[in-house]
Amino acid sequence: MNDQRVAVVGGGSRGIGKAIAVALGARGYAVAVGFHGSDFAAGQVVEEITASGGRAIAVQADVADEDAVAQMFDVAESIGGIDVVVNSAGRLSLSPIADLDLDELDALHRTNIRGTFVMAREAARRVRAGGAIVNLSTSVVGLQFPGYGAYAASKGAVEAMTLVLARELRGRDITVNAVAPGPTATELFLDGKDEATIERLAKQPPLERLGTPQDIAEVVAFLASPAGHWINGQVVRANGGII
């Protein structure tokens, strides 16, 4: 098999996913930058990685579509052996449970639960020994902020499947973990929030700031590296110390 190390990053064109793709590219992985909507944004990520001497390709795929995901992995395997799979594709919807439109609930769960499951299933079939699978959860699963009921429920499912898969891959020398960011300054997080709300959330961690996409990317890159290979079947709450 080709010795080129390859990382597949679902939702790699924006926010935390973009930072993860760039971080893995800087560490020598050829990166398949998965995207659903904007090929322009994905192309910018590819340009950023290649401008620094890395190798990357943009691949369009709806993470909830098993055929599209299989094709994305086919493209990745044409470059080299798949060593890292990160699913950072996600959808956020804020509403009190009593008021949530159930169509929005279905859309959110299609991306966050089905999408993560489809990506994890393909990863379990293709990642080679010594590799890593990392899913993205949220610290809201533990913090239980009002308005996040549907989102937290979907990410609770992500954590459950992550821990089960870690055990199912016994003997394969593949780690499976989840990273659960706290409030992080991305377009997805900042959208619809006023300055007072943002400032209040930034003061919650003892470090008294919002996380950055790079903060989360560094955690993911560590878990994907040989140095992080003894960490397995865990949920890492990367949130600056919010309790």
The arithmetic mean of pLDDT across residues 103-113, rounded, is 97
- Its pTM stands at 0.95
Residue 242 in any domain: the answer is no
Residue 3: pLDDT band (50, 70, 90) is confident
Residue 241 lies in a domain: no
Rg (CA), the chain: 17
Structural domain of residue 226, as residue ranges? 5-235
Q: Which of 29, 73, 148, 151 is catalytic?
A: 151
Is 59 domain-assigned? yes
Quick check: is 57 in a domain? yes
**Average pLDDT value for the chain:** 95
Report the pLDDT averaged over residues 218-235. 98
Count of structural domains, the chain: 1
- Mean pLDDT, rounded, for 190-198: 86
Q: In the prediction, which pLDDT does 64 show? A: 97
The residue whose two tokens read 């700031």 is 209
CB atoms within 10 A of CB 42: 25
In a domain, 186, yes or no: yes
pLDDT, tens only, 35-75: 998 789 999 999 999 999 999 999 999 999 999 999 999 99
Q: What is the DSSP letter of 112?
A: I
In a domain, 243, yes or no: no
CATH classification of the domain holding 141: 3.40.50.720
Q: Is 148 an active-site residue? A: no
**Domain contains 219:** yes
Beta bridge partners of 7: 31, 84
Question: Is 240 part of any domain?
Answer: no
